Amino acid sequence: MSRLKISRRTWRARSPIGRLSAAAVLTTLLASPSALAQVYRWVDQDGVTHLSSEKPPAGVKAERIDIPGMSKSSSKSTGSSASKAGAAAAPASPAVVAQREELLGRLRTRECVIALEALERKTSGAEPSSATEIRRLKQTADLNCSQDPARRRQQEEMAARLRVANSPACVEARNELADLMAPGSSAPREQVRTQQAFVDEHCTSPVR
């Protein structure tokens, strides 16, 4: 049976790290006049990632991330009075506030988990690093990780799962699954299901 080998580079586009970069899709800038429907993401001069429901300081270039499912029309003011210069934006509804905070929480957790996982790799000597990089990762984690002990433990557990998902063992497991599912493969269905279950349980990123 010819084996379909998938390089790490190829898998990076499909693996958790690749999918993490795909989260940039969320940052598509939609023309919405209300800041109430967005959160903002920017990286400061030290490379630290910031996320906030408030607009960044003047002169700071930021990505505006819209709440999923929030249509443009739902955040636009209507009526002739709304078109007047200086018209105040309508207050955010409780539902919009809840959606915004949920989105902000997920994005902060993502940045936290990625920073914690990278910090472990670089401080353990598994990868070359520098004092500047270590400081940046610590600041990103401090800024975005939860201060609640229970929630912080959950985030640390997610970072540990991300570490495993990005490990050589999981790269090999995903390659093996690709081999089993390749066109022309005669692998038994039970073997494919077993391998798929292993990948799903151990080699799937906990953050998107």
137 with 200, same domain: the answer is no
Q: Would you say residue 110 lies in a domain?
A: yes
* Residues 83, 88, 93, 99, CA torsion sign: positive
41 with 100, same domain: the answer is yes
61 with 142, same domain: the answer is yes
136 with 172, same domain: the answer is no
Q: How do residues 172-202 score in pLDDT, each as one tens digit? A: 999 999 999 999 999 999 999 999 999 999 9
48 with 115, same domain: the answer is yes
Q: Which helix (H) or strand (E) holds 115?
A: helix 94-123
CA-closest candidate to residue 53, choices 34, 66, 38: 38
Q: How do residues 84-133 score in pLDDT, each as one tens digit? A: 434 455 677 888 888 889 999 999 999 999 999 999 989 988 788 899 99
Q: Would you say residue 21 lies in a domain?
A: no
Residue 63 φ/ψ, nearest 5 degrees = -85, 135
Domain C-terminal end among 126, 148, 163: 163
Domain residues for 193? Answer: 167-208
pTM value? 0.66
205 with 109, same domain: the answer is no
110 with 203, same domain: the answer is no
Q: Would you say residue 117 lies in a domain?
A: yes
Number of domains in the chain: 2
